[in-house]
Chain A
Amino acid sequence: MNGAIVKTVPKDDYYLLKSCQAGSWYPSIEMSLRYTLKKIGCNFRDDPRQSSCVGCANHIGVTPMLPIMALNARNLTLASRSGQPNIICNCPTCYSNLKYCKEVLAGKSAMRDRAMEAVRKAGIEYHDSVTISHVSEAFLENLDKIKAKAVYSMEGIRAVTHHGCHYSKIYHRDVMAGNCERPMVLDEIAKGLGCETFDYPERSLCCGLGFHHIMLYPDYTRNVQKRKYSGIIDADPDVIITMCAGCTLSLDLCQEKIMQELGLSMDIPVLNISEMMALVLGADPYMVGGFEMHAVPVEPLLDKMIAASGVR
């Protein structure tokens, strides 16, 4: 099972379901995604009409499911009618939340009926002929194209990965490579581009964000990250590759302080998989890759990639 690709994902005609977390905290994730898809020649629709999926408020427990269901009926319809019906989410919470809403809307329940009534009242004819994937799955599916267009090699780069819990644990039978205990999607992409990836204890532990926890219960974040980073440090990576803006934020923003508290002074750049792909494909590290937006400097990683590739 290790690393075996167990699910197929559409290769083209993507509908970008933009994450409010990525756009708020690291717009570079979104910019890198657009850059990557253009660079490898994938058709995609970047539709401004789409609303937030409201998944994070669902998990925090501050928004009932009914309005979330109605908004996502609209989002699914927009994608279904766009001509590019293969939804790719750059946020694992959007990914699982949309999959859940699609399932409920296809079933029979009082909530489904109430959501549909609101949708009909708004003049929307519900359509759900869509597929729902995470962007990392689309990258893995198009890895040959990424490799063909890569400007930089990742040979010799040591990487660890952190897969979003809402990617691997909610639809836990639907992980594209590996399984829910050991998802390998990011690892397979990184290895395909020449990286060496390493396991570490607590690889599947939460990033510590917990949504409201990082604001209200910072001890949760601290406690979880100390365990997480204690394992990561032993692997001595050049980069931590993530697939979620929230995990990127949590691991990037708190790293300096957590390292201090662990009595260490080391920097491990935290890059979202979209940023990683754009970088490999030669994107401007500042205007696309968002280096300035990262708390832990990413320049040392790029320097290593440049040295490994023999290009300037």
Chain B
Amino acid sequence: MRRFQELFGGHCEPEEGSPPQATGPSYRIGADVEEDVDFREDERLEIESCYRRCIQCGRCSSSCPAAMMYVDFSPREIMRMLIMNDMQGLIQGQGLWRCGQCISCAARCPRNCNPAAAIQALRIVALRANPSINYMRLIESGVRRNLGATGQTILPMTLAFPEDLMGPRTKKRRSEHNYSRMKVGYRAEDSRYEPIPQEDLMEIRALLRDTDFL
């Protein structure tokens, strides 16, 4: 987790003179879910998830790679809690963050429901309301910083590569990645070959500000 925090806390300083100084969430953590206007307007929750149509058949859960390994998560349970209107249970729990967003649940649902879409919408609310998920807020602020500074969500240094999942040869080859990318004309700090022009970045930032993101 320390390496993760280092990466999300300490990269991609905005260029001198550039406006985005997003320092953290613009909302109050622990806010009342029922007062969250964005949440109520988010069509993914009702119209796309179609939870009212769910017949609890469990086809989603038997398709779900996360449900196979986490006892505290299944898409069927997410849909059941939505049907029961158990918003606090959904938002304060950890299950919401287990989903890997492979969308197998929606592809296989016989009723065309989409638990993964509901999860996307619920995660945004949980980010505002659940005090125990600071690690997700770190990712949030990393994305905010990246988008504000460069117009891109992910930059080469954004992902904390999983040391535990890499063998020694992989670690060595990956450690030379910056050298390899620079050799072919890409910069170490940017995902683009040609950066987004300044005037376009201004336009992108204006859109992000006017949609309450920056």
Please list the residues of chain A having a beta carbon within 8 angstroms of any beta carbon in chain B.
Answer: 18, 20-25, 27-28, 30-31, 46, 48-67, 69-71, 74, 104, 109-111, 114-115, 117-119, 121-124, 165-166, 168-170, 172, 180-181, 204-206, 208-224, 227, 253-258, 260, 287-288, 290, 292-296
Contacts and interface: CB of A to CB of B under 8 A. Distances in A.
Given A61-B127, A67-B208, A109-B43, A216 B154 contact: no
Interface stretch (B50-58, B81-89, B176-184): B176-184
Contacts of A260: 167
A110 B41 contact: yes
B98 A217 contact: yes
A65 B44 contact: yes
Closest 9 CB pairs of A and B: A61-B123, A23-B191, A256-B167, A210-B100, A118-B210, A67-B213, A206-B102, A62-B140, A169-B107
Interface of A is mostly: helix
Q: Among B154, B197, B204, which residue has the most Cβ atoms of chain A within 10 A? A: B154
Interface in B20-58: 38, 41-44
B100 A61 contact: no
A235 B196 CA distance: 43
A121 B143 contact: no
Contacts of A51: 147, 151-152, 196, 200, 204
A18 B193 CA distance: 10
A60 B174 CA distance: 24
Interface of B is mostly: helix
Given A27-B193, A212-B97, 4 more contacts: A27-B184, A67-B207, A165-B101, A254-B162
Contacts of B136: 60-62, 212
B184 A31 contact: yes
A131 B96 CA distance: 34
B204 A71 contact: yes
A213 B38 CA distance: 26
B136 to A, nearest CB: 6
Nearest to A115: B211
A214 B166 contact: no
B152 A30 contact: no
A224 B162 CA distance: 15
B18 interface: no
A172 B107 contact: yes
Nearest to B104: A169
